[in-house]
Amino acid sequence: MLRVLQNLDRRWIFLAMLLAVTVPVVAQKAIPEKPTRLVQDAFNVIENLPDGSNVLISLDYEPSTEGELAPMTKALTRHCGLKHHKMFFMTLWPGGIPLIEKNIATILEGELADLKLAYGTDYLNLGFNAGREVAVIVMGTDFKKMFPADNDKVPLDDPTLPMAHDVENLQDMALIIDVSAGYPGMKEWIQYGASPHHIKMVVASTAVQAPQAFPYYPNQLTGILAAIKGAAEYEAALAVTYPRYRDPKYQEAIRRMAPQLWAHLLVIGLIVLGNGVYLAERRRGARP
């Protein structure tokens, strides 16, 4: 047995991982989630803002991390839409433009079509702007210098975009939401946007980046959605306040937690097994 484990082809582990993830995806069994303080604080800040507040939503990711971040984007957009906040979508990543368009089409124009949210009045797609942290710095003093027009090159002073008329700088935003996959993203928004101008900020980050966000909570970040678990907890918080979101078809992140459970059990089992094999080898004198 020990010899088999010592010489185990790693492809068996890949196969085991594939099964650990695939079976729960196909079985579609959901695990109940309860929001933790980090996520509940993020939910509360959006919920407690007066209806129609200006919210800047920067989707700083590309399709490579969409699987992890899209559920967070959807949940946050749903919540802002339900509260009729004025949403200014933008991205510091060039690949983020189609993701903004997809999010608007799916949530604001699809799922929340009954709310009759209008482009230019309730939400705006500012698109991509090159410049990384410099873009954030300039927006801090002169918003329209960085974004003179929306993604379709319509000037922000155009009568069809009334929600942008009174926006002069970042301080006109009641909240910044950054959905972040790396640089430029969360850190740049904290360092150059939220922290110097004392603006409330919520971060939804990839798992890899999440540990970097924790030191900023609660003084510089109001709430954090860390990885797919954060998205699942946010969906749970949304379902508590808004009954329509108790329908499992809106709980994409919660569905993804069952594969997480089985994959993590497998990883824990493999770590224990690997250490067991190592100790057994050492006992037999094969290793120092």
Partner 1 sequence: MKRETLVWTVLFVAGGLFLVQRAAFTERGMGKVYVIDERVNPKVEEDKRVHFVESRPDPGNERVMVSYPRTVGLWLAAFFTLAIFSFLYRDNVFFKIAESVMVGVSAGWAMASPGFWDTLVPKLAAKLAPDTIREWALPRMEPAEPSLVYLVPLALGIMLLWRLAPRGGWIARWPLAFIVGTFAGIKLTNYLDADFVNQIRSTIIPLVVFAQSGQLDFWGSLRNVGLVFGVLACLTYFFFSLEHRGIAGRVARIGVWYLMITFGASFAFTVMGRVALLASRISFLFDDWLWLIDPSGKRS
- Type of residue numbered 78: R
Which of 95, 151, 93 is closest to 123 using CA atoms?
A: 151
Q: Which amino acid is at 130?
A: A
Nearer to partner 1, 5 or 23 (CB): 23
Cis peptide preceding 184, ω within 30 of 0: yes
Least separation in angstroms between residue 286's CB and partner 1 is 27
225: Cβ contacts below 8 Å, ≥ 6 apart: 38, 39, 42, 72, 76, 202, 203, 204, 205, 231, 233, 234
- Does 11 participate in binding partner 1 (rule CB under 8 A)? yes
Here the tokens at position 162 are 């009334």
Site for partner 1 (CB under 8 A): which residue of 16, 84, 191, 277? 191
Q: How many helices (H) and strands (E) does the chain have?
A: 13, 6
The one among 36, 172, 195, 280 contacting partner 1 by CB under 8 A: 195
Q: Which of residues 241-260 bind partner 1 (CB under 8 A)?
A: 248-250, 252, 255-256, 259-260
241 close to 74: Cβ distance less than 8 angstroms: no
Least separation, in Å, of the C-beta of 117 and partner 1?
A: 15
Residue 224 Cβ, how far from partner 1 at the closest point, in Å?
A: 12
CA angle 122, 123, 125 (to 5 degrees): 160
| Nearer of residues 50 and 243 to partner 1, judged by Cβ | 243
220 binds partner 1 (CB under 8 A): yes
Rounded Cα distance, 250 and 71, in Å: 9
Q: Which of residues 118-137 bind partner 1 (CB under 8 A)?
A: 127-130, 133-134, 137
Minimum gap (Å) between residue 213 Cβ and partner 1: 10
Q: Is 114 in the site for partner 1 (CB under 8 A)?
A: no
Q: Rule CB under 8 A: which residues touch partner 1?
A: 11, 14, 17-18, 21-22, 25-26, 28, 65-68, 94, 105, 109-110, 127-130, 133-134, 137, 148-149, 152-155, 190-192, 195-196, 206-208, 210-211, 215, 219-220, 226-229, 248-250, 252, 255-256, 259-260, 263-264, 267
